[in-house]
Chains A and B, each alone.
Chain A
């Protein structure tokens, strides 16, 4: 299982995420249709953005799946975040007033 705090990047777009809550489902984490890889890995190239998964990953949003996994987008990109073929969903937060 991927460790919480791990940083991952897309192979086909600019998207980067950090794992906030881990779950086994994250082994199937993809961006733009291609598996995400550790930030420090070099990307082989060749893979391209799948038009079916080109909805974009929004900067600073948390994305969740049904298995309890949660990732935070640390760099926006053109690809959709998905677990296998199932898109992750944005976790809506109740806005809090600024307190410090």
Chain B
């Protein structure tokens, strides 16, 4: 099944429904359909074999996503925050790309002419899509529809290939067609190069829900749009959630239309979830867990799960507020030990997932699925007795101190509850005696000046002694990707440099 068909179905059900709103642009399903057909004509004329996009998204995302699909070519939205050099390197990895660039970024990647004639600015693409004859092909369901580069927090960016089948399996498996109410509107502020951005463009169209785009996130603008566009559902990454909650605490604003607020993309600290639940008791919160390689969401903690966990007096149930819920239909999960054997409930190990929406294929590497179709997420996880999934951290982030494996999240979950701690990341720094030592990088709460020994003692009281941080360092903020993933590698290299300086000075 091609993602093109999702748009065709939306038109068939209601051609006059407003599907996309982005600043002054408003498109009905029929208008989006006509633009995608003609956009395919524009792509065809260039002879391109892939379509790259450098820009902030908005209506350009669904327009290019469906134009590329109608042209039968893969679409690769790129991270516009990267340097020009990094962008050119990614573009060079795509087959004969047509590069579509928002005006603001033309200078960044150099004149479009430098890309071998395969460049066009977004406005010109849209203008030509109004005058070009349609040229529609039906791709094979196993053709690549979307290429997304991983953020590269642990290694060089990998190009994840998502086929039409992966994406349509995800959408048709998790969304009931036309299930939205006529007045429903989704506010989309995740960036276009993130899997949630691609997922949002497809899911909301299929559900029959108007997509309202916020291209440049600010909490105040987000709150304004929820009000003016009568937004009913929205998805944010943790950093955005923190800013929205702070904005609403500072300037209380009723959001009567908002029914569902989904968060995901990286781990959300529990104190923030509780703040959000207390502030917006009428809103249903959704924690979505997924990876680029799995075509977005594979597990969901529903609004009911949130309420039940928050109100329960049973510790096991309360803990689920920090879980990512249960697998979506069509997804199987298993947790395996180091030897690849499935483990029992309550025992941590590596999470494997399987299902039609799972790609696990990278350009130049091929498929990393095992013989039975399981994808290794490299996330450490644990299932409870009721099948709720808890993500403990990345297996690459595991600290090995004196031969003992330590998951940073275990220590972070404790420290972040300390009143004087705003944010924390725990990493392993190289150490001649222990191999690695545990370093907690702490961002103090506003106005607080916590004592390192007091924080160490706080951890020691709640966890085993071997989990006590060897060192506490304070920072004004943590380095993160634009979507809120902590760049642990950067913390480690800064710490390593600092330690070497200390050792060098000591030797003098």
Contact = CB atoms under 8 A, between A and B. Distances in A.
The finding on whether chains A and B are genuine partners in a shared complex, rather than unrelated, reads: yes
A61 B179 CA distance: 11
B367 to A, nearest CB: 19
A72 B186 CA distance: 25
Contacts of A5: 1, 141, 165
Interface stretch (A26-34, A80-88, A90-98): A90-98
Q: Interface on chain A toward B: helix, strand, loop, or mixed SS?
A: loop
A100 B176 contact: no
A20 B190 contact: no
B233 A60 contact: no
Contacts of A97: 260, 262, 284, 286, 300, 302-303
B176 A93 contact: yes
A contact residues, range? 20 to 34
Interface string A56-83: 0001111000000000101110000000
Interface string B190-214: 1000001001100110110100000
B264 A99 contact: yes
A13 interface: no
A12 interface: no
Contact of B262 (A72, A94, A95, A100): A100
A74 B286 contact: no
B329 A18 contact: no
A46 to B, nearest CB: 26
A98 B178 contact: no
Given A5-B165, A97-B284, A60 B9 contact: yes
A98 B286 contact: yes
A36 to B, nearest CB: 16
Contacts of A96: 174-175, 300, 302, 328-329
A84 to B, nearest CB: 25
Nearest to A40: B138
Nearest to A19: B1
A98 B186 contact: yes
Given A98-B203, A99-B286, A59 B178 contact: yes
B15 to A, nearest CB: 13
Contacts of A75: 9, 12
Given A99-B297, A100-B203, A74 B262 contact: no
B8 interface: yes
A75 to B, nearest CB: 5
A97 B258 CA distance: 13
Contact of A98 (B5, B13, B165, B204): B204
B1 A99 contact: no
A100 B296 contact: yes
A98 B297 CA distance: 10
Nearest to A98: B233
Contacts of B199: 99-100
B491 interface: no
Interface string B262-287: 10100000000000000000001010
8 contacts: A5-B165, A18-B1, A59-B177, A96-B174, A96-B175, A97-B260, A97-B300, A98-B286
Closest A-B pairs by Cβ, 5 of them: A60-B177, A99-B288, A100-B199, A5-B141, A98-B233
